[in-house]
Amino acid sequence: AGDIICAIDRTPLQSMSQFQEMVHNLKPGDPVVFQIERKGKLQYLSFEME
């Protein structure tokens, strides 16, 4: 199974449409942190939007 995205910038995700809206509102150069669940453990991925 793959990773599960639990939150974006500390905002818990409730739905796919919420995820899509949040990503759509990000601009190139914006820093972003995804909280993911991978193999039962929480991890954080930080990157800059392109």
Token pair for residue 45? 């991925």
Place of tokens 């991925």: 45
pLDDT tens for each residue of 10-42: 999 999 999 999 999 999 999 999 999 999 999
pLDDT of residue 24: 95
Domains along the sequence of the chain with CATH: 4-48 (2.30.42.10)
CA–CA gap between residue 40 and residue 12 (Å, rounded): 17
- pTM for the complete prediction? 0.82
pLDDT of residue 41: 96
Helices in the chain by DSSP H: which ranges?
16-24
